[in-house]
Structure 1
Amino acid sequence: MQAKSAHDTVVIGGGALGLLSALVLARTGVRVVLLEREVVGAESSWAGGGIVSPLYPWRYSPAVTALAHWSQDFYPRLAEQLLEQTQIDPEVYVTGLYWLDLDDGAEALAWAQREGRALQSVDIAAVQRAVPALAAGFGRALQMADVANVRNPRLVKALRAALQQMPNVTVHEQCAVSGFIRDGGRITGVQTAQGDVHADQVVLAAGAWSGELMKTLGIELPVVPVKGQMILYKCAEGFLPAMVLAKGRYAIPRRDGHILIGSTLEHAGFDKTTTEEALASLKASAVELLPALADAEMVGHWAGLRPGSPEGIPYIGPVPGYEGLWLNCGHYRNGLVLAPASCQLLADLMLGREPIVDPAPYAPAGRLTSVG
């Protein structure tokens, strides 16, 4: 890699947030180089479930809600754009989502009325008819019929393919960033084992690793890894026609009959090993939701690291005192949900355009502290 590079922007991180940040910027003519420490799309973006909604949207702040609503409305168009450009279908699959036996159902319905979202109470007998595989014994249900899930490994594959087609984008994998290049109060690039990469702007979108990189500047960014384990079953197509969620665990159907069950929440640093304890717990949840899974073939068990942040509110915007450095990280459990809006907002701010939502809640200013 050359020491000097004619790049407008360096994006650190090749997950959904980094890939889509690069794509949105590149579509405006910006010259982008994306640096990924391992392989593009292989961390949290690959490991997640891909529900295009926060698990319990009414429990989040208006800041998360604003990004979620914009993204949910945009996802079908994003999938169409990527399919047309790359011939890779991210499979945005509208199945709807049932929440079963919630303790805060009244709050959920009040939130939906306030926000104009189509969440409704459904008779449990109607749910059983719609989802015959569902276990008996549930008493109450809420449904949002328009919730989709995206097949996240295919989404990141499509994003990568889209970037590869663009002459103003360069992607470097196996290229870990170790620090930032400073010129007075300005960030002018990044340091890597393959050499320095210079640019006018640097975007940090490194997921759970973002906090570690900010420490090299003496800044405490409260983004920490939170491990999540999931399991995957292969069933017949149509076995599960809708997503179901109870007791914090969910089942997500893919079009081809694969069923995802997730997920754990573990604070174990950067350890991504799977455990027998989590496997047993996830299998128990699977059978509790869908008894027929006791006899189904389990075809996968993995772990990913979410970028945990206070209240799950991401950091999007410029870093005060470090001109040229931008954040797009800390999305916790909602990276895939919030990605389209987050990346559009970032681009709006970087290019001086009217932002799609009020950027104030996500601004790094006032939310960062010095290490020490």
Structure 2
Amino acid sequence: MSDCLVVGGGIIGLSLAYELSRRGMAVTLVEQGEWGGQASSAAAGMLAPLKEFTAPGPMLDMGVASLRLYPQWAQTLEEFTAGDVQVSLEGLLTVALNEEEQEQLQTKYHWQKEKGYAVHWLTGKELTEVEPMLTDNAQAAIYSPREGHINNRLLLRALVTACRLQGVKLLSGCVVSGIAVKAGKVIGVESSMGPLRAEQTVITSGAWAGIMLEMLNVSVPVRPVRGQIAAVSSVGIPLRTVIFGTSGYITPKKDGKIVIGATEDESGFQREVTMAGLASILNGVMPYVPALHTAAFLEAWGGLRPATADGKPLLGPIPGWSGLSIAGGHFRNGILLSPITAKWMADYLEQGSTEHLEPFLPSRFISE
């Protein structure tokens, strides 16, 4: 029997299994498909809480805390696995192309500055000094020099390697058919690979978390939202920094690709790329960097992001079910929030501490 059974092998499940194993716990991690095969591999790897969250509050606090962990967390992971996850915290521009956008952006800048965050207001030549490829139509931007991105696919690969080296029992292609209960306590799951038992079971199955918990007649408001993303070649387009606008983002990666995106559409569990989605991506980003018109197209992909009713993740114990907890509903911020989620959830599983989990507890939706 394991100390902890983690159900779902995306970025959250892998990060949690890695963290728990580093704390000396015996961990089993199960995934019905491929490791990180859903939202995690379909992400752009953004590490940008100041861009992502529009107001002060627990989500921004969590995002900033996780970003602070990232440099050391990634370095430790790279040293342990002898890999490279291509962290780039070299700055990010959020750009306004017209007066209305500029007014909205300036309001955001003022409260972020008042809160003490490292942001700068740029106009005119200051914009092209930071990013020469930016359109001449840019009127202003918030520059956040400490945000950036990571190669999420390399990160997932490194976490799988790290879990394996740490002795985590990794079971891919393992389909869970039921949640095992004994004397009112969850003791594991029934699966296509036989019964799997543990002292603690954690659901980290992303957009499928609701389906998993329905096995116990527990309803949680998690739904899939499709995100479609594309990549083009960076040849002849030497972008320096990430660019965000109201209609898309442009992320220069260290592997020679520029990742552009992204759509948000509710299509059930369909993750295919559509022509309408691809057109939306391309039309959304080209006004910010005109040179993208000549970029060589490389690939496009889609993933299902786990969205919740109030936009906050579900972290912590499931009321009424001893031995069962959840870490999910991170929407498009799973990559950013994975280090802090792993830390806080490991604190709960190891010590019973819910101090940091209070704003995210499932009890806000589920009663005993």
TM-score (norm 1): 0.93
4+ long deviations beyond 4 Å: none
Maintained 8 Å contact 2:243/2:251: yes
Maintained 8 Å contact 1:54/1:333: no
| Count of paired positions | 363
5+ residue gaps, structure 2, are none
Maintained 8 Å contact 2:234/2:252: no
Find the aligned partners of 2:319 and 2:88 in 1 and give their Cα distance: 40
How far 1:184 sits from its partner (Å)? 2.7
Find the aligned partners of 1:329 and 1:224 in 2 and give their Cα distance: 11
Q: Secondary structure at the match of 2:166?
A: coil
Identify the residue that residue 196 of structure 1 maps to in structure 2: 195
Instruction: Give the letter for the 2:20 counterpart.
Output: L
Q: Secondary structure at the match of 1:116?
A: coil
Q: What value does the CA root-mean-square deviation take over the aligned residues?
A: 1.7
Task: List per-residue Cα deviations over 1:341-370 (Å, max 9, x = no partner).
Answer: 111100111111666x63210111132269
Identify the residue that residue 216 of structure 1 maps to in structure 2: 215
Task: List per-residue Cα deviations over 1:96-116 (Å, max 9, x = no partner).
Answer: 111111352233223313432
Change in CA separation of 1:165 and 1:238 when aligned onto 2, cut-off 3 Å? farther
Q: Secondary structure at the match of 1:137?
A: coil
Q: 2:38 aligns with which of 35, 39, 43?
A: 43
Q: 1:29 aligns with which of 24, 29, 50?
A: 24
Q: Secondary structure at the match of 1:69?
A: helix
Deviates more, 1:226-235 or 1:132-141: 132-141
Identify the residue that residue 130 of structure 1 maps to in structure 2: 130
Find the aligned partners of 1:214 and 1:248 in 2 and give their Cα distance: 35
Identify the residue that residue 361 of structure 1 maps to in structure 2: 359
Find the aligned partners of 2:34 and 2:11 in 1 and give their Cα distance: 12
Change in CA separation of 1:340 and 1:264 when aligned onto 2, cut-off 3 Å? same
Task: List per-residue Cα deviations over 1:124-177 (Å, max 9, x = no partner).
Answer: 32112322221221212111011120100000100000011123x100000121
Maintained 8 Å contact 1:58/1:107: no
Identify the residue that residue 109 of structure 2 maps to in structure 1: 109
How far 1:288 sits from its partner (Å)? 1.4
Find the aligned partners of 1:353 and 1:183 in 2 and give their Cα distance: 21
Change in CA separation of 1:320 and 1:61 when aligned onto 2, cut-off 3 Å? farther
Deviates more, 1:247-256 or 1:27-36: 247-256
Find the aligned partners of 2:320 and 2:367 in 1 and give their Cα distance: 12
What aligned pairs does 1:6-21 form with structure 2 within 5 A after superposition? 6-21=1-16
How far 1:196 sits from its partner (Å)? 1.3
Identify the residue that residue 81 of structure 1 maps to in structure 2: 76
Change in CA separation of 1:60 and 1:271 when aligned onto 2, cut-off 3 Å? farther
Amino-acid identity (%): 30
Change in CA separation of 1:287 and 1:105 when aligned onto 2, cut-off 3 Å? closer
How far 1:255 sits from its partner (Å)? 1.6
Find the aligned partners of 1:263 and 1:184 in 2 and give their Cα distance: 46
The alignment status of 1:343 with 2:342, answered yes or no, reads yes
Instruction: Give the letter for the 2:46 counterpart.
Output: I
Task: List per-residue Cα deviations over 1:216-270 (Å, max 9, x = no partner).
Answer: 1111111110000011011138711000111141001112331011100000010
The alignment status of 1:66 with 2:61, answered yes or no, reads yes
Maintained 8 Å contact 1:33/1:171: yes
Maintained 8 Å contact 2:89/2:148: yes
The alignment status of 1:166 with 2:166, answered yes or no, reads yes
Maintained 8 Å contact 1:224/1:307: yes
Instruction: Give the letter for the 1:165 counterpart.
Output: L
Find the aligned partners of 2:364 and 2:289 in 1 and give their Cα distance: 46
Q: Secondary structure at the match of 1:351?
A: helix
How far 1:310 sits from its partner (Å)? 2.5
Find the aligned partners of 1:254 and 1:63 in 2 and give their Cα distance: 29
Instruction: Give the letter for the 2:115 counterpart.
Output: E
Identify the residue that residue 184 of structure 2 maps to in structure 1: 185
Change in CA separation of 1:237 and 1:178 when aligned onto 2, cut-off 3 Å? farther
Q: 2:87 aligns with which of 92, 101, 112?
A: 92
Task: List per-residue Cα deviations over 1:31-85 (Å, max 9, x = no partner).
Answer: 0000001011121111101111247344156121121111100101111111100
Q: Secondary structure at the match of 1:118?
A: coil
Find the aligned partners of 1:293 and 1:106 in 2 and give their Cα distance: 27
Instruction: Give the letter for the 1:155 counterpart.
Output: L
Identify the residue that residue 155 of structure 1 maps to in structure 2: 155
Find the aligned partners of 1:139 and 1:112 in 2 and give their Cα distance: 19
How far 1:189 sits from its partner (Å)? 0.6
Find the aligned partners of 1:368 and 1:107 in 2 and give their Cα distance: 36
Find the aligned partners of 1:113 and 1:164 in 2 and give their Cα distance: 43
The alignment status of 1:311 with 2:310, answered yes or no, reads yes
Q: Secondary structure at the match of 2:362?
A: coil
Task: List per-residue Cα deviations over 1:181-238 (Å, max 9, x = no partner).
Answer: 0113210011112211111100100011101111111111111100000110111387
Q: Secondary structure at the match of 1:94?
A: coil
Maintained 8 Å contact 1:124/1:141: no
Identify the residue that residue 3 of structure 1 maps to in structure 2: none
5+ residue gaps, structure 1, are 1-5
Identify the residue that residue 281 of structure 2 maps to in structure 1: 282
Maintained 8 Å contact 2:315/2:327: yes
Find the aligned partners of 2:56 and 2:38 in 1 and give their Cα distance: 26
